[in-house]
Amino acid sequence: MTFKPGLIALDLDGTLLNKVKKVSPRNTAAVNAAIARGIHVCLASGRTHEATSKYAAPFTTTPEDLIISYNGARVGTLGGELIYEKPVSADQAAWLIDYAFEHDLHLNFYTGDTLYVSKLTKWSELYQARTGTVPNAIGDLRTMKGKPATKLIIVDSYEKTNSLLAPMKEHFGSALYITKTDDEYLEFMNAVVDKGEALSFVAQRLGVARENTAAFGDNYNDLPMLAWAGCGVAMSNGKPDVLRAGDEIAPGNDDDGVAQVIERWLAG
């Protein structure tokens, strides 16, 4: 029996976007065809709200439509209304700021949908090139101590971020949600935050049953969303753990994998 979605959540990088960070014409047409059938479509990204919402431009959405940003730390409307935000506490953020300073690590600090860094580095350039989010260099992130953060990211080499993952999880325990979202990104979020929790909230708000919810993703931070959805779709270009977790596997992001699956659902 063909799956009949009422809500489709779409990760951006490595999923909806191709290798040049664009939404292809075929993906655009498939998403708009789903919307025309009355299916809700929700972008779900680790990016900021602004950097996520701009990718909805080709779609026939409304300002009231919801998007998930910051890996689920924020849910808001395309029109800019903040529905909820679950930040990292000021104390936890301060510890990470001090740790990054003491170990000369590049740290992204997000608050109010703005990205702050101590200084511009090759890592801030990498992040800006990938996401389009412009960092605000303020000289010393320790001036942000005392403020909660929507999320924080250590940006460094694949080897460095991998080596930090286990000790950071040991230090914070269950107090924070810590995950790799790209080879160079080690992200820190509120313990109750992930894309699965955010998708659950969106589905309930829209009145869509879990079994009628679909999610597409390719990376580690997509795993909670794929697990929660009635149909979790892993992109064939995804990480091995994601491929194992998917209820089905779509063709890769450069082969319009999102469109191919949605087209099949609509034709069923």
**Same domain, residue pair 215 and 240:** yes
- Count the Cβ atoms, other than its own, within 10 Å of residue 91: 11
Question: Are 79 and 201 contained in the same domain?
Answer: yes
Residue 100, in any domain of the structure: yes
Predicted confidence (pLDDT) per residue in 7-38, tens digit = 999 999 999 999 999 999 999 999 999 999 99
- Contact assessment for residue 43 and residue 16, using Cβ atoms and an 8 Å cutoff: yes
The pLDDT of 181-186, averaged and rounded, is: 92
195 has pLDDT over 90: yes
* Domain containing residue 16: 7-85+193-267
Same domain, 198 and 112: no
The whole-model pTM stands at: 0.87
Measured between alpha carbons, how far is 233 from 92 in angstroms, rounded to an integer?
A: 34
Confidence check: pLDDT of 154 > 80? yes
Write the pLDDT tens digit of every residue in 209-248: 999 999 999 999 999 999 999 999 999 999 999 999 999 9
The reply to whether 2 falls in a domain is no
C-alpha span between 55 and 66 (Å, rounded): 13
Beta bridge partners of 234: 217, 249
One domain for residues 108 and 181 = yes
Same domain, 101 and 186: yes
Query: How large a percentage of the chain has pLDDT more than 70?
Result: 100
CA distance 231 to 261: 11
Domain count within the chain: 2
Judge whether 255 lies within some domain: yes
With a cut of 70, say whether residue 1 has pLDDT above it: no
Q: What is the CATH number of the domain that holds 29?
A: 3.40.50.1000
Per-residue pLDDT at 89: 97
Same domain, 180 and 255: no
State which amino acid sits at residue 156: D
- β strands within 61-218, DSSP E: 66-69, 74-77, 82-85, 106-111, 114-117, 136-137, 151-155, 176-182, 185-190, 213-217
pLDDT mean across residues, the chain: 96
Residue 176 within a domain = yes
Residues 174 and 100 both lie in one domain = yes
- 212 within domain boundaries: yes
The CATH number of residue 184's host domain is: 3.30.1240.10
Q: What is the pLDDT of residues 73-123, one digit of tens each?
A: 999 999 999 999 999 999 999 999 999 999 999 999 999 889 999 999 999
